[in-house]
């Protein structure tokens, strides 16, 4: 395994980690809002959040590419005012990954909040706790398994992205070339040995992460039943 392999794998896990952390901060308030609101706009918001589940990655990547392009008004505004170029950059990959992986973070958290008994929140408020105290010390600890599941699925999904990252990031070594792109490149070059190194590494990492999550969730359920 050479330096390029480790650089590519490092970039892949860096992208997945940053995406997961940012989405965790987005997913908690958004998941809570969707679990509690009775607004007529809720179906519209849920539809937008869920669209990456049914929309082909190339379609989402294409429209993000148009939006981020310096030839477009939004991309031109970012580049001229903030010197930010999102096309073919790691920053662009992060934003695209956040959009593409959002349902994998929001849905489990929303389900976790929806399953909580309303009496927990009401009891906390009765004891004089603020909303944020109730959220951080009462509600979130009671949906730990949902938070863990959401984080792990988001991380794993980001690691496996292909269509969106190819459209937005292209294939720049050390900048936007992640493992899924590297596998495609090596297969195209008939370099199956190196493609297998990337693929097998992702296979093992994904299996270990999921095995760990299922084990932790099982332990959480047992401790809650005692």
Contact between 203 and 156 under an 8 Å Cβ cutoff? The reply is no
DSSP 86: -
Encode 148-174: b = buried (16+ Cβ within 10 Å), e = exposed. Answer: bbbbbbbbbbbbebbbbbbbbbbeeee
Contact between 148 and 216 under an 8 Å Cβ cutoff? The reply is yes
The vertex-221 CA angle with 219 and 226, nearest 5°, equals: 95
- What pLDDT sits at residue 226? 58
Sketch the domain layout of the chain as residue ranges: 3-36+56-220
- What pLDDT sits at residue 1? 55
Distances in whole angstroms, Cα of residue 82 to Cα of each of 74, 85, 124: 12, 9, 44
Q: What is the mean pLDDT of each run of 10 residues along the chain (226 residues)?
A: 87 96 97 94 94 90 89 84 86 94 96 91 88 91 92 92 89 91 93 93 89 79 61
- What pLDDT sits at residue 222? 66
CATH 1.10.3720.10 is the classification of domain 3-36+56-220:
yes
- What pLDDT sits at residue 84? 83
């Amino acid at each position: 395994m050479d330096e390029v392999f480790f650089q590519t794998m490092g970039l892949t896990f860096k992208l997945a980690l940053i995406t997961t952390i940012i989405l965790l901060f987005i997913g908690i308030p958004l998941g809570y809002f969707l679990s509690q609101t009775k607004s007529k706009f809720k179906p519209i918001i849920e539809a937008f959040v869920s669209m990456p589940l049914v929309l082909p990655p190339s379609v989402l990547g294409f429209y993000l590419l148009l939006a981020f392009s310096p030839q477009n008004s939004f991309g031109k505004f970012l580049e001229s005012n903030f010197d930010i170029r999102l096309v073919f950059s790691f920053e662009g990959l992060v934003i695209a990954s956040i959009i593409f992986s959002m349902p994998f973070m929001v849905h489990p958290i929303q389900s976790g909040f929806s399953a909580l008994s309303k009496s927990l929140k009401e009891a906390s408020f009765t004891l004089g706790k603020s909303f944020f105290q109730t959220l951080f010390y009462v509600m979130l600890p009671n949906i730990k398994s949902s938070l863990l599941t959401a984080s792990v699925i988001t991380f794993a999904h980001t690691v496996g992205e292909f269509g969106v990252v190819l459209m937005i990031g292209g294939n720049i070594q050390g900048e936007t070339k992640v493992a899924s792109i590297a596998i495609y490149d090596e297969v195209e070059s008939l370099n199956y040995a190196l493609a297998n190194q990337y693929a097998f590494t992702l296979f093992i990492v994904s299996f270990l992460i999921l095995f760990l999550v299922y084990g932790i969730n099982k332990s959480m359920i047992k401790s809650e039943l005692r």
